Structure 1
Amino acid sequence: MEGQKKILFVINPISGGKKKTAFNKKVLEVLDLSKFHPTFQQTTHPNHAYELGKKAVEAGYDAVVAVGGDGTINELGSALVGSGIPLGIIPEGSGNGLALYLGIPMNEASAINRLNRFETVEVDCGYINDKPFFNIAGLGFDATVSDRFANDTIRGPIGYLRSVVNVISKYKPSKYILTIDGKTYEREAFMISVANSPQYGNNAYIAPNASVSDGILDVCIVHKFPLYILPMMVFRLFNRSADQSEYVEIIPGKEIHIQRVEEGPIHVDGEPISLSGDLKITVKPKSLKIIC
């Protein structure tokens, strides 16, 4: 129909451990088909969402929708950044950190219905050695957990919790040299999270004051702490007071350089990646439009 906006739904069939066999039918029931013409594609391999996003840009789609978690959002966002084509989100992941922060409904039908308004916000994009991220990138403990979780057969929050338990008893803090906007810090850290948005997902807030639209990243350094403190650390994540812990240091910045004494896993929006050597982290303000 003339005047309809072309929307591509990119569906990750395994995200969050949720079946999505009835998703296309739900879209046809809820989406305003007088305004939108939907097309559906399922991902079949790593980086497939990125490839589909790039093709959608070339084909002149009016929007692309990630049906999955923060990893799917990352791939599609990376393809759309700077294009002016907005990204829609149907949260179907294990944590859904960015969607929760943006107030996108967790209910599938409600999230689809939200697309009908077609209202957008512009968000910042972080880069870690030129790899984009929109929610949180990190190294240390949480990256090690993400690496373990990615290789687990159990998805969803239960699988993630199992990965945490398996890693934490054996994990040792590492030494880092950080340069943030020209100032240098030497730290022994349990983990370092570079936050564009405040939370990992499931309403666990590592950087309560972070914003996706302020042109600044929050560098969250979690110092070595005694294991008996762990329940309190977890409690602080969920009551948005992590920044008040004596074991957490948050330094805002735009240009961040991290030297590692030992190399280890890195996660970008919850997905483990391999990056060797020093890490250069920057931010590109308001470079992606998101329908919310």
Structure 2
Amino acid sequence: MHTKINILFIINPISGGRGKQAIPDFIDKYLDKEKFSPNFVFTEYPGHAGELADEASVKNFDVIVAAGGDGTINEVATQVLKHNKILGILPLGSGNGLARFLKIPNNIRYALNIINNFQVDQIDSAEFNGKCFFNLAGIGFDAHLSAVFSKDKKRGLSGYVKLGFQEVFNYKAEKYILNIDGVTFKREAFAVSVANSSQYGNNVYVAPNASIKDGLLDICIIKPFPIIKLPVLGYVMLSGKAETSDMIEIIKGKKVKITREKAGAVHVDGEPLEMGEIIETHINPLSLNIIVP
């Protein structure tokens, strides 16, 4: 008799704006019980997923599954990384950037099949002033938008897009000094995204050629543009053409120091935070164990 793998599902009940109370029963129905011994827990407040994952790592859970959006995944993955456990993902968020990159489907039943197959791989993780991220972190307009959006209770893509249109008219590009692997670049930018994977979520690609296994970050500088070109930028990102667009400059590197004019908003895997004018970011190659298709 082989021992079953202890697996904990950490479920964020509000990610993506849908109720999740039925999820444990659903998982129970489709999870391979020959292989896994499942437990379930719901998060109750921001930061809770990280605390639960930290406790679970000490308590003999081998696999910890983040059932939520990129924010939930970030909290859980940070602890999985710290304790050298294995991450699973059930994408229940509104954007699901990392899950989409990994080709983990939004259909929960299919996502559970991936967990049942239990193929574990290692991917890069990164740090943004000491805070782990796995998908994207950034400063500039997208960070500003995350900060404003977090105060708005109507989550979801349509609310985000609407808010984006309101904010974009008043947003001013800022000046940045980027030191990438020892080379200095001075740039004025609408936003600077540091990408481990290729997209924000919802198939909006800022770094279409990014890889989570190459030991490199893609630093994506979105140049200032006249507002009339906003639809062009949208098209460039949705069609995955950022590499060839003159609106976006992409520089790859391992270690980056960004100096900006003043402290302010940043986002780390979509979650808004405040940081100072200097931001140091670097890649940790093949550091996270994760279940992949």
TM-superposition CA deviations, 1:74-97 (whole Å, max 9, x none):
001111115331110000111001
Letter in 1 for 2:276: S
C-alpha distance in 2 between matches for 1:162 and 1:16: 17
Report the CA distance between 1:145 and its aligned residue. Answer: 0.9
Q: CA deviation at 1:113?
A: 2.0
Q: Is the 8 A contact 1:82 1:288 kept in 2?
A: no
Q: Do 1:147 and 1:272's aligned partners in 2 also have CA atoms closer than 8 Å?
A: yes
Displacement after TM superposition at 1:22 (Å)? 0.9
After TM superposition, give the deviation of residue 158 of structure 1 in Å.
1.4
Tell me the SS of whatever aligns to 1:116: helix
Amino acid at match of 1:148: V
1:49 equivalenced with 2:19 (yes/no): no
C-alpha distance in 2 between matches for 1:126 and 1:2: 36
Q: Distance in 2 between matches of 1:11 and 1:82?
A: 20
The TM-score with structure 2 as length reference comes to 0.97
In structure 2, the residue matched to 1:140 is 140
Q: Mean alpha-carbon deviation: is it higher for 162-171 or for 62-71? A: 162-171
The CA distance in 2 between the partners of 1:51 and 1:105, in whole Å, is: 26
Structure 1 gaps of 5+ residues are none
Output the CA distance in 2 between the equivalents of 1:223 and 1:177.
Answer: 14
Alignment partner, residue 228 of structure 1:
228
Q: Which amino acid aligns with 1:39?
A: N
Query: 2:88 maps to which residue?
Result: 88
Q: CA RMSD in A?
A: 1.1
Look up the match of 2:281.
Answer: 281
* Aligned-partner residue type, residue 211 of structure 2: S
CA deviation string 1:152-173 (max 9, x = no partner): 1111111211221221111110
* One-letter amino acid of the structure 1 residue matched with residue 282 of structure 2: T
Counterpart residue number, 1:248: 248
What is the rounded CA distance, in whole Å, between the counterparts of 2:263 and 2:223 in structure 1?
18
**1:95-110 mapped onto 2 (5 Å cutoff):** 95-110=95-110
Q: How big is the shift at 1:260?
A: 0.7
- Which residue matches 1:15? 15
Q: Which amino acid in the other structure matches residue 234 of structure 1?
A: G
CA displacement at 1:189 relative to structure 2: 0.4
> Is the Cα–Cα contact under 8 Å of residues 257 and 279 in structure 1 kept in the other structure?
yes
Q: Percent identity?
A: 47
Matched residue SS, 1:9: strand
Gaps of 5+ in 2: none
Runs of 4+ in 1 over 6 A off after TM superposition: none
Q: Which residue of 1 aligns with 2:78?
A: 78
Query: 1:277 & 1:60 partners in 2: Cα distance?
Result: 41
Number of equivalenced pairs: 292
Of the structure 1 ranges 147-156 and 279-288, higher mean CA displacement relative to structure 2 is found in 147-156
In 2, the alpha carbon distance for the partners of 1:233 and 1:120 equals: 36
Task: Tell whether the 8 Å contact from 1:82 to 1:287 is kept in structure 2 after alignment.
Answer: no
The aligned counterpart of 1:177 is 177
Per-residue CA distance 1:232-253 (angstroms, 9 max, x = gap): 1101111110121112110000
Contact 2:220 2:250 in 1 (8 A): yes
1:271 corresponds to: 271
**TM-score under structure 1 length normalisation:** 0.98
Compute the displacement of 1:264 (Å): 2.1
